[in-house]
Amino acid sequence: MTSPGKDHVPRMTAQPASGGITDALWKLFASIKLTIVLLLSLAVTSIIGTLIPQNAEPAAYVAAYGETLFRFFWVLGLFDMYHSWWFQILIILLAANVVICSVDRISSNRKILLVRRPHFQAARFRNLPGRAGFEDARPPAALQALYAPYFSRKARAVQVEPSADGFLMFGENGRWTRFGVYTVHLSVVLLLVGGLIGSIFGFDGYATIPEGDTVQQITLRNSGQKLRLPFAIRCDDFSVSFYETGAPKEFRSRLTILENGQPVMQKEIIVNDPLRYQGISIFQSSYGSLPSDEAILSFTSRSTGMVYNREARIGAEIPLPENLGTFALRELRHDAQFRGHPVGDAFIGTLTPPGGAPEEIVLPVRFPTFDRMRRGEVVIAVDEFKERHYTGLQVNQDPGVDVVYIGFVLMILGCYVTFFMSHQQVCIEVARQGARTQVTVSGTANKNKAAVERRVRRLAEALAGLK
């Protein structure tokens, strides 16, 4: 056998490559530094998503950023970043990081969290602040028989240990509260997973439906592609109310859901009060008017007071009675203005008096007396106008929303347990000293030390009063 010399190099046993890689990956994902990096990345992403409008038309992006930046941003997916592959990878990495950090911490604290019979050390209780004590004439044996049933009702995992001149009694409460932080971690994971499910399997689109019409396809916002719904949507009626200024006050749609041509559900929706069916939400988002070229106009002669009703069509000229000239409708203008003030939907026409110059006339649909301010020989008003509206609907599905709701509930519960509840341990030390027995109560907690000191005082007072 050859003896090892000073130059001999011991042979090292090589670790399996897989084990080394596994350990390195575990340490990486259990790192708080990775958590900070991922959170900062998501924060920067959110800022970018706020600065760059999402899901707008490509022409708007080209006009805002130019062709070169538009192509660069498009490749990076910055115009719909919350559905981009790299954003989803960030979510997955953060979820994995939180899970592995939690598992790693539970593993290191398993002796506290998972042990069935906790181990108490008397020495750690004897130098604690906030101790309370009193003297009793009865011997320790009598006090043990008195204290044991009472303390068993007030604490868990009660243990009694004999001492040289008496006994020690231990107990704890709230060990389960140490899981509060892990509940918060779980809630974060559920929020991330719920958002990821919605991002991958959900959709967000829109549809426009004229009154009386039915659609079964929507247009996706992120891609512009068509998506066929498992049911059809019919707009039975649309109504809109206005403020005195002409601005829309409220608009609502009465919708019917059809399956195989048969109605299965009906609901009147307004903004923030959607129709929900088969996990799909239908929101009222906008409205508009379809082009109309007909109206019944009234012409009132100021000289005679006579009122004449005439059917008018855009582009056609109407001869007026009493030699008042001619009138022709040119267009129906939505969100029309008169001298800088909005008047809503209005017909625009041209009045040509005999031997006079043509004059533009604005006829708001909702203000029939509007033309009286002109003080002309004839007063014109829209007597009847049957306008056909269309409703603009936002249609989306988020299959991860229930997971997100559960995550929010768990986060609230976990935060309450983590910040307002604690794991408390109490020690009752009873020792015979001459003709008297000294009883000392002390306690400790992982947080909220003031609470455990109050409990110690109350417990000492209760023990002193036991007969």
pLDDT (tens digit per residue) in 46-103 = 888 888 887 777 778 888 888 888 888 888 888 888 778 888 899 999 999 999 988 8
For 342-356, the pLDDT digits (tens) are 888 889 999 999 988
Name the percent of the chain lying above pLDDT 90. 47
143 three-state secondary structure: helix
Q: Give the confidence band of 171 by pLDDT, cuts at 50, 70, 90.
A: very high
DSSP string, 24-86: HHHHHHT-HHHHHHHHHHHHHHHHHHHHS-SS--HHHHHHHHHHHHHHHHHHHTGGGGGGSHH
Look at residue 379 in the predicted model and tell me its pLDDT.
94
Whole-angstrom CA distances from 1 to 84, 211, 389 are 66, 100, 101
Whether 231 contacts 259, CB under 8 Å: yes
Q: Does 223 score more than 80 pLDDT?
A: no
Q: Does 40 score more than 80 pLDDT?
A: yes
- One-letter amino acid identity for 178? R
Task: Give the CA radius of gyration of the chain.
Answer: 40
Look at residue 111 in the predicted model and tell me its pLDDT.
73
Look at residue 246 in the predicted model and tell me its pLDDT.
67
- Average pLDDT for 118-125: 87
Look at residue 32 in the predicted model and tell me its pLDDT.
85
- Sign of the torsion angle spanned by Cα atoms 406, 412, 416, 419: positive
pLDDT, greater one: 284 or 107 = 284
What number does CATH give the domain 197-291+390-402? 2.60.98
- Average pLDDT for 368-389: 86
- Looking at domain 111-174+422-464, its CATH class is alpha beta
Q: Does 18 score more than 60 pLDDT?
A: no
Strand order in the sheet with 156-163: 132-136, 436-445, 424-433, 166-173, 156-163
- Please give the DSSP secondary-structure letter assigned to residue 14: P
Look at residue 236 in the predicted model and tell me its pLDDT.
93
Residue linked to tokens 């347990």 = 417
Q: Does 16 score more than 60 pLDDT?
A: no
- Average pLDDT for 421-446: 94
- Global confidence as pTM: 0.63
pLDDT, greater one: 306 or 50 = 306
Look at residue 387 in the predicted model and tell me its pLDDT.
67
Looking at mean pLDDT, say which of 24-38, 146-160, 192-206 comes out highest.
Answer: 146-160
For 412-421, the pLDDT digits (tens) are 999 999 888 9
- Average pLDDT for 310-324: 90
Look at residue 13 in the predicted model and tell me its pLDDT.
41
Contacts of 151-156 with C-beta under 8 Å, sequence gap 24+, read 151/428, 154/459, 155/426
Average pLDDT over the chain reads 87
Q: Give the confidence band of 131 by pLDDT, cuts at 50, 70, 90.
A: very high
Q: Does 374 score more than 70 pLDDT?
A: yes
**Angle CA 50–55–59, to nearest 5:** 110
Look at residue 14 in the predicted model and tell me its pLDDT.
41
Q: Does 321 score more than 50 pLDDT?
A: yes
Q: Does 263 score more than 50 pLDDT?
A: yes
Give me the residue spans of the domains in the chain.
21-106, 111-174+422-464, 197-291+390-402, 298-382
- Please give the DSSP secondary-structure letter assigned to residue 2: P
pLDDT, greater one: 12 or 309 = 309
**Residue 275, by phi and psi: left (phi above 0), alpha (psi -120 to 50) or beta?**
beta
| CB hemisphere CA count around 427 (13 angstroms) | 25
Q: Give the confidence band of 426 by pLDDT, cuts at 50, 70, 90.
A: very high
